[in-house]
Structure 1
Amino acid sequence: MSKAKIAPSILSGDFADMANDWKKMLGNKPDWLHVDIMDGHFVPNLTIGPPIVKAVRKRIPKGEAFFDCHMMVQNPQQWVKPMADAGADQYTFHYEADGDVAETIKLIKENGMRVGLALKPGTPSSCLDEHINNVDMVLVMTVEPGFGGQKFKAEMMPKVQEVRALAPKLDIQVDGGVDASNVCSCADAGANVIVAGTGIYGAEEPAEAIKLMRAAVEKAIADRA
């Protein structure tokens, strides 16, 4: 099974000084930085795009941080090359978005990025059957995508278990309302990549929150070994 990875959702931080805020978060020793890209169409919110990611990447070279980009966009193929050029390491798009899933996966690989496939809460794990062997990660949303600060949906844990059963060695990510109070349930269900916004940024000691979450995932991995 893949290793534990903790990915702070960096859009929970300081928009006014983004590059320095991301650098500051790196001081807390996360594994990835989770970057939410929203187009105002697939979800109602609108956030940053490739030019901002590219500008921050100039300040934080590839060897210093893994940019885990969650593309909440209606036309995921449109943004593959711009995000690759901007310096994204992983491109996670939604199964529910417009376009051919297999072709989008192929395009992401051709542009040198890892492939993530995201599922909204209402989307069943059965949709993965023809794609799971072609992706690097599955993201099981534990809130409806589009806004931070939502309540964690514990009822998504059976879906995480289903995905883990399908792919014992795959990276499985959870995103939405995850914090110290529920990270163990995520890890026990089979998630090894934990995205947390306020669960890290709102902690008194973000580094300690990251360590706690990583320890929970590592314990769950060891218990399943």
Structure 2
Amino acid sequence: MTALRPLLIVPSVLPADFGRLSDEVKELVEAGVDRIQWDVMDGNFVPNLTFGPDVIAAARAATDTPFEAHLMIVEPDRFLGQYVDAGCELIIVHAEACPHLHRTLARIRDLGARSGVALNPHTPAHVVEHVLEETDLVLAMTVNPGFGGQAYIASVEPKIATLRRMIDDSGLPIELEVDGGITDTTIAGAAAAGADVFISGSWLYGHQAGKAAGVELLRAVAIESAGLS
């Protein structure tokens, strides 16, 4: 990893108060986050239900900070346009939910958004090998998706390192994101393995000194662990 690649801290709004999402978004922006992730769950691909596009659109006016939609849903192609229209600049789909992944990622770009592909913990890195040219971000899940507050799966770190090498070898400006159980301790292993975007939800919301202090701490540990300090 080089200093030319920024390390980004991105909160999941899954632990937020859903009754005041616009205010929650403003508070996250004031805390210094780099963008905001919306965990979209359909009760089918994962056993939970969360945000539809109208909910995200309602919060979009609260900030100019970029939104990313992590679509943990079956048949994501049916809904891509709705989440782009809701104001999400980055759309992440799961490789496991896309039988025609190349086409899905190309469609996201055609809609004017950046494309991302997520891999569940058990899904090998080589699944994305032949779609890197259509991909702006690869997300290595460090928990099984569907619920917040889960424990970080450290055994994913070798896969993160493999993805880092694949991306670097491609020469493409692809971000490598991790999501699940990211805290001030677990972020170290993910950063050392080569991740450069870090999703934090439960830990960040529960940080005793507040969200801004949590963002600062996560960023500092990631920079040090990546060898950029």
Smaller-chain TM-score range? over 0.9
- Corresponding residue for 1:17? 20
Q: Does the 8 Å contact 2:187/2:221 carry over to 1?
A: yes
> Unaligned 5+ residue runs, structure 2?
none
TM-score normalised per structure 1: 0.94
- 1:11 aligns to what SS in structure 2? coil
In 1: Cα distance, 2:225 partner to 2:133 partner: 23
TM-superposed CA distance for 1:219, in Å, is 3.1
- Corresponding residue for 2:54? 51
Structure 1 residues 96, 78: closer, same or farther in 2, change over 3 A? same
Which amino acid in 2 is paired with 1:70?
H
- Corresponding residue for 1:115? 115
Which amino acid in 1 is paired with 2:187?
V
In 2: Cα distance, 1:206 partner to 1:97 partner: 33
Q: Does 1:174 align with 2:161?
A: no
Q: Does the 8 Å contact 2:189/2:225 carry over to 1?
A: no
Q: Does the 8 Å contact 1:179/1:196 carry over to 2?
A: yes
Q: Percent identity?
A: 33
Structure 1 residues 219, 170: closer, same or farther in 2, change over 3 A? farther
- Corresponding residue for 1:97? 97
Q: Does 1:77 align with 2:81?
A: no
In 1: Cα distance, 2:75 partner to 2:221 partner: 36
Q: Out of 179, 198, 204, which is 1:200 matched to?
A: 204
TM-superposed CA distance for 1:58, in Å, is 2.7
Which amino acid in 2 is paired with 1:20?
D
Deviates more, 1:212-221 or 1:25-34: 212-221
TM-score normalised per structure 2: 0.92
- Corresponding residue for 2:39? 36
Which amino acid in 1 is paired with 2:137?
M
Q: Describe how 1:56-71 pairs up with structure 2 within 5 A.
A: 56-60=59-63, 64-71=64-71
In 1: Cα distance, 2:165 partner to 2:133 partner: 13
- 1:194 aligns to what SS in structure 2? strand
- Corresponding residue for 1:219? 224
In 1: Cα distance, 2:23 partner to 2:133 partner: 37
Deviates more, 1:210-219 or 1:98-107: 210-219
Q: Does 1:183 align with 2:187?
A: yes
Q: Out of 3, 6, 22, which is 1:3 matched to?
A: 6
Deviates more, 1:160-169 or 1:140-149: 160-169
Calculate the aligned-residue CA RMSD, in Å.
1.5
Aligned residues: 221
Q: Does the 8 Å contact 1:32/1:67 carry over to 2?
A: yes
In 2: Cα distance, 1:156 partner to 1:211 partner: 25
In 2: Cα distance, 1:16 partner to 1:156 partner: 34
- 2:121 aligns to what SS in structure 1? coil
In 1: Cα distance, 2:214 partner to 2:60 partner: 25
Q: Describe how 1:124-163 pairs up with structure 2 within 5 A.
A: 124-163=124-163
Q: Does the 8 Å contact 1:164/1:170 carry over to 2?
A: no
Q: Does the 8 Å contact 1:54/1:87 carry over to 2?
A: yes
